[in-house]
Every structure is written in C-alpha cells, then in structure tokens.
C-alpha cells in the first residue's frame, strides 16, 4: 500500500496468524531534504491472543542518510499463543533529514523450513524436474537405491588400435586395465579383430583361444570351443571380430584385468589382432 511521506507511520491491525508461521514484512524507504541524515525507519509487529490481550512486540530498525528508494525488510516469526498480529512501519522523529516510505507489503512464507516432514516428488516441482540451474545437493550422499534401475556406474578401459602378432607360442596379452573396486558386480567387456594367413601353401582352419584374467585368476576362457577362421589361404589375410562379456564379483580391492589370446595351430605362424579393447564397468552402491 503506497503511503504518503507526510505520515509518520502506517499500521495494519487484526491479522489472523498461527504460532510458528513466518512473514516477510517490507517497505521501500528513502531520505532527502537539505540535511538528509540520521533518518531512522522501524518495522514492527505486535502480537495478541484470541481475547485481544497484548503478548509481545518485535522490531527491526534501519538508519540511513541521503539514499534513494531501497527495500527494507524483515522476517517475522509468530510466537506461541498468538492469534492476531498488527504490523507497522514508522519514520522515527528527531532526525534532521526527511524520510519517505512507500509500497508497504506483507507476505506469508510457505514454510519455516525448506522441506517439511515429507518427500519431495516430481509433481510438486515445477516442470517435474530438478536441474543444475534450480536445484543442488550439498553435503549429502545420493544412495543408489534412490536412483531408477541402480543406473550409476563408472568405468575404466584400454583401447589399442595397432596390431600385435603371436605365433602359437602360448598366451599373448592383447590389452589390460586396472581398477580399484568397492567390491561387488563388475562387468568386463573385451573385443578384438583377430586375423591370420596361411604359410607354406597350406589351407587350414585357424583356431583362436581367448581368456580374461583377474590378476592371475582366469575368469573366462573359450577352452574346448575355440573361435575359428575357416579355410585360411596361403598368403591371404582372413579376419573376424570377437566380443566377450563377463560379470565378476570380487571383494573390495585393486585388480588388473587382462585380455589374452593363444593360437595352438602349429602350422600357422602368421596371426595377429587389431583394435584390442577391454572395458570394466562397476555398478556403484
């Protein structure tokens, strides 16, 4: 409500209130005149019970000189047993300057705390979302159980595009990666592009054996069912693509996962693998 500067004060009476409620009371104030200094403004609140008996008073004061209009506000807390409130703004007499106030306003706050005794659900948030622009989580841990489908993971990986050669002399490491795990399910994915060519005029099937190791422990091996490139021609490269996945559940600790290959065919001496890749995914809890 605009208020003329000729008034010393303005009040509103008999506002129904409840104990614990909070209100924001404000006015736009300014000073001026030939000696604009030492002007004091006061925002006050008086509280009464249901019978109109006076209970208490709270106030906030501002002393300013030579200022344009600016907002002066305070938060009012309703005390216990209060049922009625009177608010007022006053330009205190005795200053040598001239004071002005206008646009006196009172707002009820929606709550005394940010979240009151309940969960915040999507339908209670504008646009059903919290983004980096309108929400923050500070000093709290977000539990996996609160996130749909436990969809929180981290990963480590190794990817090598160049080829490595092997000649049937035992296991050859294609690539490896290390991870410090909290313990629990780890998903290991390994892929490569093996190829071979025949020698000495032979046309043969080339068998590749693959395995994945955690440190020195084998957790996946093709074993008696090797991956084959059929009818490899003399002097001609033939290739296939292979991919493996394995869920491992070690205890907490640091582990190195190795992707290895072996070509047991004694007659084949020209074999290699390119695009060697291993990924370890950990689902966080």
Give the pLDDT of residue 2: 38
Q: May I ask the CATH architecture of the domain 9-108? A: Sandwich (2.60)
Tell me which H or E stretch contains 117: none
Domains 9-108 and 153-283 share a fold: yes
DSSP strand E in the chain: where?
Answer: 9-16, 22-32, 39-48, 54-64, 70-77, 84-92, 98-108, 153-160, 164-166, 172-181, 186-197, 204-214, 217-221, 227-232, 238-239, 242-248, 253-262, 270-283
pTM of the full structure: 0.49
- pLDDT tens, 213-245? 999 999 999 877 778 887 777 777 888 899 999
pLDDT, position 108 = 87
| DSSP letter string, 17-36 | --TT-EEEEEEEEEEESSS-
Please give the pLDDT value at position 33.
Answer: 62
In the block, which residue shows the tokens 């004061």?
Answer: 61
pLDDT digits (tens, 9 = 90+) for 138-186: 555 555 455 555 557 888 999 998 888 877 668 999 999 999 998 889 9
Q: Enumerate residue ranges in the chain where pLDDT < 70.
A: 1-8, 32-38, 65-67, 93-97, 111-151, 168-169, 199-202, 265-269, 285
Check residue 35 and give its pLDDT. 56
* Domain coordinates in residue numbering, the chain: 9-108, 153-283
**What architecture is the 153-283 domain classified under in CATH?**
Sandwich (2.60)
């Amino acid at each position: 409500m605009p208020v003329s500067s000729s008034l010393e004060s303005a009040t509103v009476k008999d506002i129904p209130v409840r104990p614990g409620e909070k209100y924001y009371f404000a006015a736009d104030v300014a000073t001026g005149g030939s000696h604009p200094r030492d002007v004091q403004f006061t925002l006050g609140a008086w509280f009464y019970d249901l019978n109109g008996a006076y209970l208490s008073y709270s106030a906030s004061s501002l002393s300013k000189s030579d200022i344009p209009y600016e907002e002066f506000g305070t938060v009012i807390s309703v005390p216990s047993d209060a049922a009625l409130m009177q608010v007022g703004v006053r330009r205190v007499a005795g200053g040598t300057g001239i004071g002005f106030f206008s646009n006196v306003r009172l707002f009820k706050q929606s709550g005394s705390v940010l979240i009151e005794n309940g969960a915040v659900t999507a339908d209670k948030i504008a646009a059903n979302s919290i983004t980096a622009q309108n929400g923050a989580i500070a000093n709290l841990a977000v539990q996996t159980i609160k996130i749909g489908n436990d969809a929180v993971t981290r990963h480590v990986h190794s990817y090598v595009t160049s080829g490595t050669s092997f000649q049937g002399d035992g296991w050859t490491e294609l690539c490896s990666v290390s991870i410090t795990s909290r313990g629990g399910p780890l998903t290991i994915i390994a892929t490569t592009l093996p190829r071979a060519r025949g020698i000495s005029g032979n046309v043969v099937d080339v068998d590749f054996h693959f395995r994945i190791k955690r440190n020195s422990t084998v957790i996946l091996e093709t074993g008696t069912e090797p991956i084959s490139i059929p009818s490899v021609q003399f002097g001609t490269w033939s290739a296939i693509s292979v991919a493996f996945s394995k869920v491992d559940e070690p205890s907490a600790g640091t582990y190195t996962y190795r992707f290895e290959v072996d070509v047991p065919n004694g007659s084949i001496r020209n074999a290699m693998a390119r695009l060697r890749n291993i990924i370890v995914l950990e689902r966080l809890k």
